[in-house]
Amino acid sequence: MIIGIVGGTGDIGEGMAMRLAPLFDIIVGSREQEKAQTSCECSIEALKKIGKECTLKGVSNQTAVDDSDIVILAIPFKHLSGTLETLHGFEDKIVVSPINPMEKRDFFVFVPPPEGSAALMVRKMLPESARVCLAFNTIAANKWRALTEELVYSVPVCGDDTAAKQKVMDVVNKVSKLQAFDAGPLAVSPLIESLTPLLLNIARYNRMKDVGIHFR
């Protein structure tokens, strides 16, 4: 299974690439292929230091879509529509949105688009056959990057295509100690995306770092 990360050079994308590369074939996308290749070289070095061998390929965002079975959209919400407008070929792909539309005002606020969530906006922008799911919204980028630490978090996953959602949950469950939970259809996505501003407010007002969720 090949997983492509659009915007895979960013905070969360690069961290995800490092965690996923020892487990799956990962291709890292960028607007600039050279930037993606440099990011991959750094990630391979970081993984080597902890004794993990992997291959990681840096490509354009379009190639990351074309050559993968699962596409993770690791881009900021404000660049989501602009990025999707430049890309094509999502037909029949599993597309995963970890995107949280939010703003930092006096505190963190969930600011969804008219569709109700970033994932629902992705659903509207992509072809009907794209199998859109939401996952990974509530894990902080620096946790993905802390390669010697286990990721002990619950990961709510939602989507309308049951088989696609199961595949995404299978991916989640292979990473460190992450545990996937089926949260229902894509219509549930506003609830999940709004968890992140909540976690950030809790971290801020309680002087905590990298607050995550664990269902039990």
Should residue 9 be labelled a site residue for ligand NAP when binding is judged by CB under 6 A? yes
CB atoms within 10 A of CB 185: 13
What does the alpha-carbon distance between residue 67 and residue 1 come to, in Å, rounded to a whole number? 10
Residues 124-143 that bind ligand NAP (CB under 6 A): 137, 140-141
* Piece of 93-101, 121-129, 158-166, 182-190 that binds ligand NAP (CB under 6 A): 93-101
Q: Which is nearer to ligand NAP, 51 or 176 (CB)?
A: 176
Please state the closest distance from residue 42 (CB atom) to ligand NAP, in A.
Answer: 13
Please state the closest distance from residue 195 (CB atom) to ligand NAP, in A.
Answer: 10
Residue with tokens 């992997």: 54
Q: Which is nearer to ligand NAP, 75 or 132 (CB)?
A: 75
- Which residue type occupies 8? G
Residues 167-206 that bind ligand NAP (CB under 6 A): none
Q: Which is nearer to ligand NAP, 9 or 176 (CB)?
A: 9
* Piece of 8-16, 47-55, 62-70, 201-209 that binds ligand NAP (CB under 6 A): 8-16
In SS3 terms, the chain reads as CEEEEECCCCHHHHHHHHHHCCCCEEEEEECCHHHHHHHHHHHHHHHHHCCCCCCEEEEEHHHHHHCCCEEEECCCHHHHHHHHHHCCCCCCCEEEECCCCEEECCCEEECCCCCCCHHHHHHHHCCCCCEEEECCCCCCHHHHHCCCCCCCCEEEEEECCHHHHHHHHHHHHHCCCCEEEEEECHHHHHHHHCHHHHHHHHHHHCCCCCCCCCCC
Please state the closest distance from residue 144 (CB atom) to ligand NAP, in A.
Answer: 8
Should residue 13 be labelled a site residue for ligand NAP when binding is judged by CB under 6 A? yes
Should residue 74 be labelled a site residue for ligand NAP when binding is judged by CB under 6 A? yes
Should residue 4 be labelled a site residue for ligand NAP when binding is judged by CB under 6 A? no
Residues 16-35 that bind ligand NAP (CB under 6 A): 30-31, 35
Q: Which is nearer to ligand NAP, 98 or 156 (CB)?
A: 98
Q: Which is nearer to ligand NAP, 92 or 103 (CB)?
A: 103
